[in-house]
């Protein structure tokens, strides 16, 4: 059965004078979904989330929650809650007081509030002993968990997150990404998250919406976005990729700059020009007796260890290709003539 739509955007725009910060967004977010909006700086993510939480009104269009238009409902009258980058906790209060705050507003009794606060602490991997600690005694990661516990204490229908992990160090961020996904699954709440990191979005999200210059240019599961990016912008946003400008003829692609012909994974754009994308991890260095569906010859200019993988830079007709292989890779030295190969299945053909 299809999940119910909890939040719907219909032709939503936001103008600042005549500048279009958010441009005709149409989107359905499903109940219980972890949905992430990803985009580079200035793409309109914050403007979008401000409208979704009720801090701003759209210039045009409709935002509905469970079928009811909420454009004019202020933030404090919406059954939703925002977890900010700057955590907005009360620093002079204890962890327990912070978490209990939303329940206090609702008039819940002290015994219930305390039991629920401790339950939330445990859900967030903080022991009961944190209950009486001051916020100032908590580390960045602990504060992040307390902020999430407080947001959950509101029992909102949707939790919004504005880059909550961006100030934390890499390891802590990785841990909290997984924990956040776990909490979302356990609570069954709808999470709407914004970030400029597609890598972060890939780990946590059921679906991702990619924004560029105020527009939502692609919406899909992490797999759909990884395997079928709509254009070179999305493909590159995901990390380093090899791009070839090609002319499409039948199922063959001719690259006039590389003087090469490749097999096409998708001949649908016959007689047009396009971009062929091959990820570094889908390319390999071939030994002399080895062959692949697509091959190019070049010179190895650099090789780096990336821990679990080795990356090679290969110069082919004046263009640097990136090749990544698992482990220590193959035995080659800088300056060697090498053959790069990839399978046609791993190449993605895009129109722009």
Q: Which lies closer to ligand ATP via its Cβ, residue 52 or residue 117?
A: 52
Size of interface with ligand ATP, in residues (CB under 6 A): 12
Q: What are phi and psi of 185, to 5 degrees?
A: -65, -45
| Stretch of 44-52, 123-131, 292-300, 331-339 lying at the interface with ligand ATP (CB under 6 A) | 44-52
Q: Is 54 in the site for ligand ATP (CB under 6 A)?
A: no
Q: Which lies closer to ligand ATP via its Cβ, residue 21 or residue 286?
A: 21
Q: In the complex, what is the shortest distance from the CB of residue 321 to ligand ATP, in angstroms, rounded to a whole number?
A: 31
Looking at 5, 24, 28, 42, which residue binds ligand ATP (CB under 6 A)? 42
Rounded to an integer, what distance in angstroms lies between the CA atom of residue 124 and that of residue 347? 41
Q: Is 21 in the site for ligand ATP (CB under 6 A)?
A: yes
Looking at 6, 27, 35, 44, which residue binds ligand ATP (CB under 6 A)? 44
CA-nearest of 188, 190, 95 to 144 is 95
Contact 229, 223 (CB under 8 A): no
Q: Is 16 in the site for ligand ATP (CB under 6 A)?
A: yes
Looking at 36, 47, 205, 303, which residue binds ligand ATP (CB under 6 A)? 47
Looking at 7, 12, 46, 237, which residue binds ligand ATP (CB under 6 A)? 46
| Stretch of 15-23, 72-80, 248-256, 291-299 lying at the interface with ligand ATP (CB under 6 A) | 15-23
SS3 3: coil
- Token match 């692949």: residue? 292
Q: Is 112 in the site for ligand ATP (CB under 6 A)?
A: no
Looking at 1, 18, 41, 352, which residue binds ligand ATP (CB under 6 A)? 41
SS3 content of the chain, % helix, strand, coil (to 5): 30, 35, 35
Directed axis angle between helix 95-105 and helix 110-123, to 10°?
A: 120
Q: Which lies closer to ligand ATP via its Cβ, residue 163 or residue 206?
A: 163
Strand boundaries in the chain, DSSP class E: 5-16, 19-30, 34-38, 60-65, 68-69, 80-83, 158-162, 190-195, 207-212, 215-220, 242-249, 252-255, 260-263, 273-278, 284-286, 294-305, 309-316, 319-326, 337-342, 348-350
| Binding positions for ligand ATP, 172-201, rule CB under 6 A | 196
Q: Is 80 in the site for ligand ATP (CB under 6 A)?
A: no
Rg (CA), the chain: 25
Binding site residues, ligand ATP, CB under 6 A: 16, 19, 21, 39, 41-47, 196
């Amino acid at each position: 059965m299809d999940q119910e739509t909890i939040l719907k955007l219909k032709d939503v725009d936001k103008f600042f004078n005549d500048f279009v910060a958010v441009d005709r967004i149409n989107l359905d977010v499903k109940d219980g979904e972890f949905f992430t909006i990803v985009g580079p700086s200035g793409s309109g993510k914050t403007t979008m989330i401000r409208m979704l939480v009720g801090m701003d009104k759209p210039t045009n269009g409709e935002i509905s929650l469970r079928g009811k238009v909420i454009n004019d409902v202020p933030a404090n009258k919406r059954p939703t809650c925002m977890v900010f980058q700057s955590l907005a906790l009360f620093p002079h209060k204890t962890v327990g007081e912070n978490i209990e705050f939303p329940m206090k507003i609702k008039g819940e009794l002290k015994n219930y509030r305390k039991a629920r606060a401790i339950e939330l602490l445990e859900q967030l991997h903080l022991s009961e002993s944190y209950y009486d600690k001051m916020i100032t005694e908590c580390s960045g990661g602990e504060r992040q968990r307390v902020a999430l516990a407080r947001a959950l204490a509101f029992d909102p229908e949707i939790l919004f997150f504005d880059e909550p992990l961006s100030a934390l160090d890499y390891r802590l961020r990785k841990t909290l990404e997984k924990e956040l996904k776990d909490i979302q699954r356990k609570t069954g709440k709808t999470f709407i998250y914004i970030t400029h990191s597609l890598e972060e979005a890939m780990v946590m999200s059921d679906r991702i919406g990619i924004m560029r210059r105020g527009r939502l240019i692609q919406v899909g599961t992490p797999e759909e976005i990884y395997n079928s990016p709509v254009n070179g912008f999305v493909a590159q946003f995901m990390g380093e990729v090899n791009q070839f400008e090609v002319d499409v003829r039948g199922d063959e692609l001719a690259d006039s700059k590389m003087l090469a012909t490749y097999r096409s994974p998708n001949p649908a754009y016959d007689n047009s020009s396009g971009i062929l994308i091959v990820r570094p991890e889908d390319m390999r260095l071939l030994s002399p007796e080895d062959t692949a569906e697509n091959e190019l010859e070049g010179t190895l200019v650099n090789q780096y260890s990336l821990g679990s993988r080795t990356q090679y830079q290969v110069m082919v007709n004046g263009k640097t290709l990136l090749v990544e292989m698992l482990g220590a890779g193959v035995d080659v030295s800088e300056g060697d003539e090498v053959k790069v190969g990839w399978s046609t299945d791993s190449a993605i053909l895009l129109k722009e």
